[in-house]
Every structure is written in C-alpha cells, then in structure tokens.
Structure 1
Amino acid sequence: MITFEALGLDETLVKATSALGFEHPTPIQEKAIPVLLSGTKDLIGLAQTGTGKTAAFSLPLLQLINPNQKYPQALIVCPTRELCLQIVHEIELFKKFKQQIQVVAVYGGSSIGLQIRDLKKGVHIVVATPGRLIDLIERKAIQLDQISYVVLDEADEMLNMGFKDDIEFILENTPKRESTWLFSATMPPEIKRVSKKYMHEPFEITVGKVNTANKNIDHQYYVVNAHHKYEALKRLIDFNPGIYGIIFTRTKADAQTISEKLTRDGYDIDALHGDLSQQQRDKVMGEFREKSLQLLVATDVAARGIDVKEITHVINYDLPDDTEVYTHRSGRTGRAGSTGICMSLVHTKEIYKIRSIEKLVQSPFHKLELPSGKDVCRKQFYAFMDKLLQTDVSDDRYATYVPMLREKFADITKEEVLTRIAALEFDRFLKYYENAEDLNVREARRDKRDNQTRNTNFSEKSRSRNYEKSNHAANSDTTRLFINLGSKDGFYKASFLQFILDMSELKKDVLGRIDLREMNSWIEIEKKSASKMIKALDGKNYRGRKIRMNEAN
C-alpha cells in the first residue's frame, strides 16, 4: 500500500502522521495530496464526510506555507463554528513539527475583539466561517490580498445554508490566489456555477460514487403509526442499551418537545436547534462529546458541521424532505472504519421515500419489526449482566468492605442476591414493559395499502401534474401565501421548507405545494395556520433584508 512519504510530503509531516498512528492515506488523500502539492492547480474533491478530507488539504497547505512571511497565506472557509474548530484542531496535530506556522480560527458567537487581536499577532492560515470573515473584511481587520490558497470545505453545505453570495464575495477579495480547492459531498448546480466562474480547469476527484452512503452503515426502517411514534422511539433507545447517537427531527419545535419528554422519562439527552445561543450550543455539544449526554436531538440546520467520533446510531424521527440530506444524517455514524446504524421511523405512506433514498445511496434498507416489551427487558438484562461481569474490582479499597458484605449476606443464597440485584435494576423497565402493546403495523392491516404504496411515487407525480393543470387552484381549506424570498437568497426547496417551518414552528403537514422562484415564492397552506405563519415571518429580517409575507389573494 502507498505511504504518506510516497505522496511527496516532507519529512516533518510524514513524522506527524506517523505520530498520530496514520500509516496509509485514505483514497481522497492519496488522490488529492500529490495534485495540491503543486500549489498552482485548482481542485474539486467529491467525497462523503468522514473520509479524511481535512488531512487531504491541510497537509499540502502546511508544506506550501512560508513560515517566514508573517501574513495570511491560506484561507479555509467552512459552514459552522464546530467544523471551524475541528479543522484548526487537526491542523495543530499535523503541524506538530512545524510549530512556527500559526493558525487562527474566526467564527461567529465569540469575541471578535479577541479574534482581531489574534490576527494582529501574525498568522499563516486562517480558518473561518463566512459571516464572521466578511465582518472582519468590512472592518479592515484582515488582509486577504496576499492569500495564495483558498479552501472551500463542505461547499454544498455552505450553499445550502445560503452562503452563496458570501462565498463569491470572499473569492472576489482574494485576487492573488494561486489555487482554489473545493471539497464537497455532493455536486449541486450551484457548485458547478461557482467553480465555472472562479476556478480554472479544476482537477476533479471523486472518491466512491457521489451521494452513495457509507458501506459501514446498516440502514434500517420501522413502520409505525403516527400516534405511536414517540413510544416507538423510546423502545428503540431501550433496545440498544449502549446507544450514543443523534435523533433528527424536521423542526426545532419537535426537537425541543422530544428532548423534554425523554428527559422527563429519565434519559440523558438534550436538544440542539436554532433558538439556542452560542453559549448554550457550546454547553450542549461539550456534554455530548464528553458523553455526559447519551443522545442529542437536532434539526438538520443545527447539526451541520458536528463531527463527533464513536456515534453508534442515527435515528430519523422524521425522514428528511430532501433525500440528499439523508446521506448527511447517516454519515454522522460509521466513521473511521467503524460500523454504525441509521434507523428511520416511517409511516406506511412514506415507504416510497425509503425506496427513493435506497436508490440514491445505493445501499439496501432493512425493514425490521419494533421489539416487544419482553424483547426490550431481555436485551437490557443481558447488557446489565455483561456490565456486572466486566466491572473492575481489582482496587484494594473494596477489600476493606468484603468481610462486612460476607457477614451481611451470610444467610442469603447467591441466587437470592442476584434476584434482588435484578429487581433493583429492572423494576422500572419491568413495570413499564410488562403489558406493552405491539407497536408494529401488522401486515393484515396493510393489505389494502400495499398496492397503493407501490404506486405512491407515480401518484405523487400525477397529483403534481394535475395541480399544475388546475392553475394551482387551492381547495376550500387552503390558501396561498406570498413571500419575497427565493432561490436568489440562497435557498433551494428543502432548505426553504426547513426555514419557514423553523420560523413558524408549524408542522409540514399543514403545507401543500411550494413554488420557489428566483425572487419570491408561493406557499400553499391550511387556512387555519396561515395567520400564524404570516405573524412569524412578516417583518422579520433575513440576511439584512426585510421579509414580506401576505396572502396571495
């Protein structure tokens, strides 16, 4: 197998990778590093999250930087604070034997004064989120006129989050860059347009098939009725005693509600959504990384840029509306060669979505039955026995108490002791699950629906065509809303849907057709929910622009 040295990296960087235990480069590193070391070639690297992209661009940058020139020579732009800090952390590890190279992270939610002070000390590599970087440019607190290398990491995520104009502004303010390196998990049209405008004959690398899921992930789905959804979620959590994962919901309101309910039910869990301050977000993420929290409930927007190792499970409480988002969710687990599980709770009418996602990620989905109450108790019991047997009792401190224990339990048999331990540990579980109902949607009840399910996708398309033929005529229970936001504001359909749902805290069920245009959009919505949406959005600001929303009629 090829080594890092064979890729052309200098001795200090090879030594650093060895110190970290990296013996051989990943596919994206093997293909990208030799190209990037030239320093003059634009590159587009397409690879899923967790494939080693950070090292693929960080190692060449560390070799190309001139430490004697005390000004920013490389700029790395990424979508979120978490990813920004993660990249800086990894670069610090790689430059173990190049300590003279200075790296600074600049991002929102933290003191801009302190960041300006760090920049003034003299830096070589700046890692930034778009908003904070532009703020610094406009304050003339950072000089980008000597930047030679620009890296756009998670480019598709930045475009999905509405940073298209910001990215173009940043590229226009780095006129002397020798090369632009763009890394992305997907290749939407927006990225093609940006690359065509700002890159010169970029070298393209694709690792695996674009949009395919990690083969180390087991994709599972469970068919459940809507009114049993929360109970099904609890049952899946209880059936996996060692679970350490993320639960994805469609809206921030759902994330908060589920988090509060699970907390009341005794689970170590918290929510991550757009209403949290940066301080609150940092606290939640810190507790999750330290495993003080077993689970995190998050929306797609809030979870972007999270990179936490050893996540065992991802649970889709709601399937995403955009099938491409599924690959980003599932990619949170099964990293660095480990295996992971992605579970989805679906309604019978959503089976067609599973088939669509299955085609997209090119990986089979397994339909499983929700465990019974007895199954859950049995699984918890076995896990407890394993934990009991693996407990370390080598510490001499316990020796002092052993004679007391022998005396206390002298008249009690070993079987009685074990029974009492089991009762103490499992009383809550046994009471809760003793008469638990079957949550599975039984086949007999689904016979009539099966034929409908097979053709749901076709029916959806037919309904869409009929809708257009009827000139978008809304029924008597719905109305149409106008909003002065569109694709020019950086939205695509799924991100726009997420935005209006997050702002209004309404359920997707109240919405009908969304007609996203360049400058504005039209939304079909239940009449009883229209006023709530208008109140939530009309007059608010989006990226410095006042939102106008009213009934289209």
Structure 2
Amino acid sequence: MSNDKILFEELSLPTPILSAITELGFVEPTPIQQQSIPALLAGNDVLGEAQTGTGKTAAFGLPLLARIDENINAPQMLVVCPTRELAIQVAEAITDFAKNIRGINVATVYGGQSYTIQNRDLKRGPQIVVGTPGRMMDHIEKGRLNLDNLKACVLDEADEMLNMGFLDDIEWILDHVPEDTQMAFFSATMPAPIKKITSQFLTDPVHVKIAVEKQAKANITQRAWRVGAIGKTAGLERIAEVVDYDAMIVFVRTRNDTLTLSEHLVSKGFKAAALNGDMQQQDRERIVDQLKNGRIHILIATDVVARGLDVPRISHVINYDLPFDSESYVHRIGRTGRAGREGEAILFASHREMRLLNRLERATEGQITPFDMPDASQLSKHRIEKTKEKLVSVAASPNLEKYAEVLAKFTEETEITTEQLAAAMLYQLQQKLPLFPQADPVDKRGERRGRDGMRNDRGDRRGREGGRERRNSGDFATYKFAVGRAQGVKPSDIVGAIANEVRINSREIGNIKLFDNHCHVELPKSLPGQGFEKLKNVTIRRHKINPSLVEGASHSSGYDSENRGKRPPRKRERFNDDRSMKTFKKKSNKPRREERSVPTFN
C-alpha cells in the first residue's frame, strides 16, 4: 500500500462506521490502520507489529465490525487482552465505533468483576466479547460463552500476555475457536513464542510491521532527575506542587508502595489515589473515572494495572522507580503524549542508575535531558505567590466588614499594629506549607560529572564518612522506633519520613541501626520546635513508629545502616544470659537484596 496519506472514507468501511468515527473526530488513519483495515476487510488473517499508542484498536475494530451481523445475537468477534483495564478500554472504543449500528452489543469478561453481571450480559447474546484469558476460559468451559458463530478472533498486546504467563491460556482458547475464524494478532514485539502460535493458528497472514514514528515520539519530552539529598518523596512533592500539570501517573514497583506513597501525598493535601492489582475491580474503575473527571490529579500505579490506560488529562508520567526493562519504560511514558497531545516524562534515578539512561534513549530513539528540581528558594517563591493569589481573591469578597471590625478591635485592645496582626495570621496560615522552607541539604556527590552533569558522578568523599558528614557524637541522642526489617523498612524510608515530617535536614540524622522489629536512630539532642511530638505522628510504610529515647546509648562506633559501603567494626558484646561473652563474626558489607537491586535493561 502507498505511504501517501489517505482518508478513512477511502478504506471502504460501511457508512454507519464511517459516520461514527467522523463524529469521534477521526479523519486520517494511522499507518497501522491504513494497512490493516483493507487486509481485514478482504478476509485475510493479519499479524500486526506496532508500538502501543499507534491506533491498533481501530485497526482491528473498524474492519471486523463490518463483518458483524447485528441480527444474530451470538458472539461473532472475540478480543483477548492481557489486563482488565485494556479490556475495558477496547470494549469502550468498539462500542463507540458501533454506536450508529442498531442491535450491536459488546460484553466484557474479566477477573475481579461479579459473575452475575457477566453471566447476564452473555445471556443477552452480545455479538462482541472482550476479556482477559482466565475469565474467558472459564466462561467457555462452563458453556456460557458459545463460539459456534465466531467470525473473528483478536489477540491484543500478544507479547504482554506472553510476559504475564498467559501462553497456555491463549493456546487453549484458540483451540476452541472454529477453524474458519478470521485471526488477527497485534503485538509491540514479536518474540519466538508469538511466532510459534502465529504459524500454528494463522493462515497466510498479512504481516503489517510499523516502525515507531519519530514525530509521535517528539510529543513526549523525556527528563531525568538525579536523586539528590532531599530524596524521592520530597522531590515528588515539589513536582506536584510547582510543576504545571493537568494529571500525572507516578509509577512505582510494588503494590505496597502505591498505598504508602498515595497516603503520604493525600496527607500533604494533594488529590492522589493508588491503583494496584490487589484492589477490587469496582474500586479500580471508580479511581480511573475520578482521574478522567478531574476529581484526582495524581495516580500512583504499578506497571501492569496501568497498561493500556488512556486518559487525555495525563500530561506527565513520573518514573518514581525505574522499571526492570526498557520495554516497560516505553509503555510507561506512552501513557502521555498520545494522539498528538504533548506530554512530559520525568524519571528519578540514583547516581548508580544514571548510567542506564543511554539504553533508554536507544529504546525510545529520543533524548533524555536533565530535570532541574525546584530548590527551596524556588519553592518559597511559588508558595508566596500562591498565598498572595488566594488572599487577593478573598479580599475581593463583599462580606469582610465584620472581620475588619474584629481586626480593628484587636489592634485597639492589644496595641499591636494591623501589619503585625496580618503577619501573625500569615504565619499561622503557612504552618503546613512553610513560606520559607529550610534550605536544601548540600549534595556533595557528583562534583566531577560527564555529559550535562548526569554521568560519571564520583563525589569527593574525603573528610566524609559513607557520603554523610559526621557531627560530634555528643550532639546526638538515640531513639528507638517500632519498625524494622520485618516491616520492609529501609534507612532511606526513615530518613525521608523524619526529614519531611519533623522538618530537619537529612544531614542532621546520624547512624541508623536496623533490627528485625525495631531500629535505633540518632537524632539531634535538641530537636527543632515540637520535634518529639511530631515524631509521635510519623508513620513509615504505614506503621506507627512509637518513638522512645534510648538511655545511655553510645554514639561513637555504631554501624551506620545508611552507609552500607563502610565495613562494620568487629565488636564484643556481653549478654545477660549464660553466654557470658561472645565474639561476633564480621558482618557482610553487602547490602540486602532489596536495597542493592539495580534494574537492568535488555
């Protein structure tokens, strides 16, 4: 087929379908649509290879809709998807394409939704069924999903189903599909197992392979922040507060992290929510709807549940944790900058992870530029400006006379000037978000750097201990927190929680000793303000820390868990039981697996 631009009306689609896509604003088909639609309309099997976000749903949905007989109330088109979110999205899109065809019904079947709802929908005889492999197999096996009238079967995101371990399920479903069914496989990549089932179940397929267009990638600006001394959580807060965005997705690695991070952001006043695989399906659908409707602005999610999520409001993607492979990174940033919209992707990388950026650039055929995190002075200017805007808006209210009288009475009774009272009110107003936040800790790592200050960071560590400047041991007091390794706590969690909640510089935190169910943390003897009272309200990984002062603790030779690069000292320790003296073997200086894992990209 020619590469010249054509219009949908030139693709021989039925009039009801053309009118529907015209109403939806579709004018020119994408490359995958230009080549797939004629092949599927001609009755050929199709093997489509194209990246996410290139319009594959319309590429198979529009031509296969043309084969549906709306007078037959039985499944005629089957679409198998790897995730519930993608199945819902595909079903919604096909419903929109078929809105001008009377009698067409679309049903979705996926795990997590009530069988009652799905059984009812299948009894109505939908012509199109979209779902995930496991639930689809269940309905076929129980006789609720009859494939006798099936005309077309589609595998969407076939490589992702392979990655998620659905290969056997896919083969089982395809074995139950009638032999004369038209087949269409769509995948971002074409690994060997996909090629195998292609040769087994497709007949002389038309292979449509679309290269990623540079113009589409140019809509996404990729940036990287080398995580500084303020830590990831504080960095995310600053982006959420200062950067101009409509909505953002923040990608983390674990389901527990989605909850921990979203709860933290909510406690800071941000409209955030978690999305993970442990949630009930109705809750997940509700959260996605809230994101679409603008009731929440920040979604904290894992890779799998966000696969296929297409919300126009998403202007930013934050890679809070780097993915384990470059393909996942491509899918992540593909949640923004879709359908011609502009987007920005920001990744958080430690100094060790910065060397991996070249591989991500090759995978996306783009450039990752440095992201300058707003510093404390910029944060101060932003908050002052926002406070001014709020006060100016309130000052325009016509109902301030009584308050002005109260203010005048205050000045008369206390002999305090109006300016002093206004300053006192402003001070009270900014307690949660200080107008003058503490200066950022100096990050002395990476004084000699490579390209754009983003590579080869070998900070001068002379005169420092494990990257942290040590203070006199007499300046510290040791506190016991009721969290430890059993709760999945790491030193970075402790530093971040204390620095954010107690408002002290992370450099003022001393040694951290992790035990199974508690930890010892060195903090300044004179905590700022109501420091100890604030400590009582701190939670780390959703656990209250219940701080208490450790009397008579030594601060001179403890092993600093935060400084894992140091060799811990040999020591003798006296026990109160029959083991009067025991010599301890030297501990390994290797970090625990969860703390030293660095993602690799294939």
Per the TM superposition, whether the score is higher than 0.5 is yes
Q: 1:84 aligns with which of 80, 84, 87?
A: 87
2:485 corresponds in structure 1 to none
How many angstroms apart in 2 are the aligned matches of 1:172 and 1:387? 64
How many angstroms apart in 1 are the aligned matches of 2:256 and 2:229? 17
* Shift of residue 429, structure 1, vs aligned partner: 7.4
One-letter identity of the residue aligned with 1:370: M
* Shift of residue 365, structure 1, vs aligned partner: 0.5
2:14 corresponds in structure 1 to 10
Q: 2:351 aligns with which of 336, 348, 353?
A: 348
Q: 2:374 aligns with which of 364, 371, 381?
A: 371
1:265 is aligned to 2:240: no
How many angstroms apart in 2 are the aligned matches of 1:192 and 1:157? 14
Q: Which moved more, 1:95-104 or 1:279-288?
A: 279-288
Residue-by-residue CA offset, 1:487-517 (whole Å, 9 max, x unaligned)? xxxxxxxxxxxxxxxxxxxxxxx9xxxxxxx
* Shift of residue 298, structure 1, vs aligned partner: 1.2
| 8 Å Cα contact 1:370-1:440 kept in structure 2 | no
Q: What RMSD, in angstroms, separates the aligned Cα atoms of the two structures?
A: 3.6
SS in 2 for 1:135: helix
In the superposition, relative to structure 1, how do residues 34 and 262 fare at CA in structure 2: closer, same or farther (>3 Å)?
same
In the superposition, relative to structure 1, how do residues 304 and 280 fare at CA in structure 2: closer, same or farther (>3 Å)?
same
Q: 2:251 aligns with which of 244, 248, 251?
A: 248
Q: 1:116 aligns with which of 110, 113, 119?
A: 119
1:278 is aligned to 2:281: yes
SS in 2 for 1:327: helix
Q: 2:31 aligns with which of 18, 27, 31?
A: 27
* Shift of residue 225, structure 1, vs aligned partner: 4.3
1:249-398 map, 5 Å: 249-379=252-382
Q: How many residues align?
A: 446
Residue-by-residue CA offset, 1:404-431 (whole Å, 9 max, x unaligned)? 558977999xxx9xx99x9599835762
| 8 Å Cα contact 1:247-1:315 kept in structure 2 | yes
1:134 is aligned to 2:173: no
* Shift of residue 325, structure 1, vs aligned partner: 0.5
| 8 Å Cα contact 1:150-1:177 kept in structure 2 | no
1:171 is aligned to 2:171: no
Larger helix fraction of residues:
1
Q: 1:158 aligns with which of 153, 157, 161?
A: 161
2:540 corresponds in structure 1 to none
Higher RCO (C-alpha 8 Å, min separation 6): 1
| 8 Å Cα contact 1:252-1:299 kept in structure 2 | yes
SS in 2 for 1:67: coil
* Shift of residue 210, structure 1, vs aligned partner: 9.0
In the superposition, relative to structure 1, how do residues 84 and 406 fare at CA in structure 2: closer, same or farther (>3 Å)?
same
SS in 1 for 2:168: helix
How many angstroms apart in 1 are the aligned matches of 2:195 and 2:381? 53
One-letter identity of the residue aligned with 1:20: L
SS in 2 for 1:175: coil
1:430-509 map, 5 Å: 431=434, 433-437=436-440, 443-444=446-447, 451=456
Greater Rg by CA: 2
In the superposition, relative to structure 1, how do residues 382 and 216 fare at CA in structure 2: closer, same or farther (>3 Å)?
farther
| 8 Å Cα contact 1:211-1:360 kept in structure 2 | no
In the superposition, relative to structure 1, how do residues 6 and 442 fare at CA in structure 2: closer, same or farther (>3 Å)?
same
| 8 Å Cα contact 1:78-1:152 kept in structure 2 | yes
SS in 2 for 1:8: coil
One-letter identity of the residue aligned with 1:8: S
* Shift of residue 136, structure 1, vs aligned partner: 0.5
SS in 1 for 2:374: coil
Post-superposition, which runs of at least 4 consecutive aligned residues in structure 1 deviate over 6 A?
210-213, 383-389, 406-412, 526-530
SS in 2 for 1:66: coil
Q: Percent identity?
A: 40
* Shift of residue 75, structure 1, vs aligned partner: 0.5
One-letter identity of the residue aligned with 1:17: I
In the superposition, relative to structure 1, how do residues 366 and 100 fare at CA in structure 2: closer, same or farther (>3 Å)?
same
How many angstroms apart in 2 are the aligned matches of 1:101 and 1:282? 24
1:133-212 map, 5 Å: 133-209=136-212
How many angstroms apart in 2 are the aligned matches of 1:439 and 1:280? 42
How many angstroms apart in 1 are the aligned matches of 2:146 and 2:293? 37
* Shift of residue 289, structure 1, vs aligned partner: 2.5
How many angstroms apart in 2 are the aligned matches of 1:252 and 1:236? 22
In the superposition, relative to structure 1, how do residues 527 and 140 fare at CA in structure 2: closer, same or farther (>3 Å)?
farther
* Shift of residue 376, structure 1, vs aligned partner: 2.8
Show structure 2 runs of 5+ residues with no match: 409-418, 459-563, 565-589, 595-602
Q: TM-score, normalised by structure 2?
A: 0.66
Q: TM-score, normalised by structure 1?
A: 0.72
* Shift of residue 249, structure 1, vs aligned partner: 1.0
In the superposition, relative to structure 1, how do residues 179 and 258 fare at CA in structure 2: closer, same or farther (>3 Å)?
same
How many angstroms apart in 2 are the aligned matches of 1:229 and 1:238? 14
SS in 2 for 1:181: strand
1:236 corresponds in structure 2 to 239
Q: Which moved more, 1:177-186 or 1:333-342?
A: 177-186
